[in-house]
Amino acid sequence: MRTFIIDAFTDQPFKGNPAGVCLVEQALSLETMQAIATELNLSETAFLTPSETDSSKYFIRYFTPKVEIDFCGHATLASAKLTLHHFGQKFVQFETFKHLALSAVSEGENIKMKFPLYDTVAFEPSQALLEAFGIKSPLNARFAPEPQMLLIEVKDKKTLEGLKPDFAKALEVSDRLKLLMVTTRSADREYDFYSRCFASWLGINEDPVTGAAHSVLAKYWAKILNKTEMNAFQASQRGGFMKLRILSETDLEVVSKACLVFEGKISL
């Protein structure tokens, strides 16, 4: 089975967020896909199965080293990079196993994707969670029920970059989360906001760049900044960027780049 590693949300190899992309040639069991994702040991691995009736369509599933997840932004970008820039397709659409429809087109060296956009509700995080992630005096907290993601705003970039989570403690927290986003408004002109993302509950302590998180972050910051177009940077050790544009109450356009760094074959 042809397998690729593609760094997403970056224009440089070994930056951004690496994703595995496997081209499924014959039916695989869930146990086999999970074993492959565990073996590759990347934050996510995408499995692409081409549609038998539409050459532009693929069925996509996402696995962390620990569990299957519903939606992954950077693995979608990696899959789009492969199909658009290396296979030469002009347009690609992906359908997840939860029937979420995603699409992507080339825009020069960039890839433009359509993601969902999620609302948030007021939420009071437990003191145990705040202590586990070293968050003091949060400015705001919002919860996105559908993707089970918690957003916490802190006062500045220095505070964001200085967080030193205790991931063992985080695993003991039961705030019904899949992902924690810590974010802050930017004080510079290059970006509108910064973030870091943590998903210890899914087997990922800190995710380098999280496309799915921006399906929540975009709507949150759009309301605060009174903008429909924003530039975002995820301030992990590897780092990654993306341009965001609110299309509607439920749709988000995400534009970024990706780099193919490895191609090989898995023997089954």
Domain 121-246 has CATH 3.10.310.10: yes
The pLDDT of residue 252 is: 97
Residue 213 pLDDT class (50, 70, 90 cuts): very high
What pLDDT shows up at residue 215? 97
The model's confidence at residue 173, banded by pLDDT at 50, 70 and 90, is confident
What average pLDDT score do residues 192-199 get? 97
What's the token pair of residue 4? 């690729």
pLDDT digits (tens, 9 = 90+) for 9-20: 999 999 999 999
Round the average pLDDT of the chain to a whole number and report it. 96
Both tokens assigned to 79: 């899959």
pLDDT in tens, 67-107: 999 999 999 999 999 999 999 999 999 999 999 999 999 99
Q: Report the pLDDT value the prediction gives residue 239, as an integer from 0 to 100.
A: 97
The reported pLDDT for the residue numbered 61 is 98
| Antiparallel, parallel or unpaired: β 110-116 and 251-256 | antiparallel
For residue range 152-162, what is the model confidence (pLDDT) as tens digits? 999 999 999 99
Report pLDDT for 268: 86
Which tens digit of pLDDT belongs to each residue from 97-153?
999 999 999 999 999 999 999 999 999 999 999 999 999 999 999 999 999 999 999
Domain 2-111+255-265, architecture per CATH: Roll (3.10)
Lowest-confidence pick of 64-73, 146-155, 169-178, 212-221: 169-178
pLDDT tier for residue 176 given thresholds of 50, 70 and 90: confident
The whole-angstrom separation of Cα 198 and Cα 206 is 4
Lowest average pLDDT, out of 36-45, 135-144, 165-174, goes to: 165-174
What pLDDT score does 25 carry? 92
Domain ranges in the chain with CATH number 3.10.310.10 = 2-111+255-265, 121-246
Query: Is residue 44 annotated as part of the catalytic site, yes or no?
Result: yes
pLDDT at 26: 92
Q: Which of 25, 31, 39, 44 is catalytic?
A: 44
Q: What is the mean pLDDT of residues 59-66?
A: 97
Tokens of 264: 């090989």
